[in-house]
Amino acid sequence: MAATRDAMEHLSPERQRLLRLVLTGRASAADPPSAGAPIRPDLAALPGDFALSGAGVAVSDGWLHWIEGPGPQLCAAMGQIAADPRLARARLLSVGWTDRRRFGRWPLRQAALHHHAAQLLSGTSWRPEADLLALAQRVFDDLAQDHALGSFAQSDLLRRVPDFVEGLLDCDAEPVLPVLARDDLQARVGFVEACLQRLGQMQEAAALGLAEVALAQTRLNSLLQRAGRPSQPLDPRGRVCLVLPPGETEMIGTILKADLLRLAGLSVRVILEPAIEAILAGLRDEAGAVVIVTGPRMRDEAADGRSAQLVAQLRQALPDRLILRGGLASGPLADCAERLALLRHRAGLAPVQGIDWAAMASLATLIDAGPQGAMPGLFA
């Protein structure tokens, strides 16, 4: 199993165009969720190596499935299994391009089935699409954390957090980012978020004062700047505005979120304004951009905290814009681009058996063979 998983990690270069599908389906008396997501047995019987990875989640009344891999192969695989009667009630929740595997260590045929107590249905009808997308964000965030901790390099990195934080607090020490955190942005973000949370825990335990926390954050930010930051993409796939609430002093999470979103191909503008009028003016200059109000990462913010209040104000003033709340409660910082992609790539609960997968495979082949950004309106 370990050899197979290690091989899956190297199926593709770090930055390669891949297609990602998120499917959902209802359970039936003949095929309850405890028996496993209905796609997995069929994938195990497919001929050839489709180079697919992903994860399945059984919920109380159905299942969710994340599948990722090269576009032509993924569409071809779906074309072979879509006619299965067990997929008659399956729906496509999200479909879009991505540059990295989220579950690269879990080959789809061998990925363990996970369980969650959530529900997909309200009576006999699907819950609203927005609710299903929010559920998918949560459950796959949890699985992504399990996936990361299963990597020796990532788990070893997190074990270094306590000593690293002590170095930040020691004026005589010269802390340096671990090599993996320095060289890999995804690993860096997970490491830094863990450091911020440890600082928050130490402050809550009265082991640190405001001055000590400020010193640690300043030194950490200096290390991050020296590690380098992604530039704005030349041909962005979308636009995002990050808004820091007035009065919020924790900036590191906002900086890292901007880096991750730029690395995912999005143009990012960070808005730092002390008054709501100036914030609204900046957002109106970026018409159509997704808005994310950032929040602290050291600790959970109150339900009516600064970011929640600003989100409410912005939604009232800009009712046609997608306005999201960030911060610790929104999910792991390292997965912020994946969470946003699920929303941007929503598929409207299209029936899986109503899709011409052969045509999709042909289109995916054309896109896969063309330059990055070709046919930008397809699969986002």
- Estimate the crossing angle of helix 276-285 against helix 306-317, to 10 degrees: 60
pLDDT on residue 375: 33
For residue 153, which amino acid is it? Answer: A
What is the pTM for the complete model shown? Answer: 0.82
What is the structure's pLDDT at 86?
76
Bridge partners, residue 59, by sequence = 62
Parse the chain into domains and list their residue ranges: 2-128+346-369, 152-227, 238-341
Give how far Cα 178 sits from Cα of 158, 160, 187, 223, 352, Å. Answer: 10, 8, 10, 11, 44
pLDDT averages per 10-residue partition of the chain, 380 residues = 37 62 80 50 56 85 89 87 83 89 80 75 88 92 82 80 94 90 91 94 88 93 91 88 94 95 93 95 94 92 91 96 92 91 90 89 67 39
pLDDT tens for each residue of 297-309: 998 888 889 999 9
Q: Which CATH code fits 238-341?
A: 3.40.50.280
Q: What's the pLDDT score for residue 39? A: 54
296 is written with which tokens?
């602290």
Q: Which CATH architecture has domain 2-128+346-369?
A: 2-Layer Sandwich (3.30)
Q: How high is the pLDDT of residue 84?
A: 81
**How high is the pLDDT of residue 85?**
81
User: What is the number of other CB atoms lying within 10 angstroms of the CB of residue 181?
Assistant: 23
- Residue 7 is predicted with a pLDDT of 36
- Return the closest-CA partner of residue 56 out of 23, 16, 15: 23
Looking at residue 43, its pLDDT comes to 56
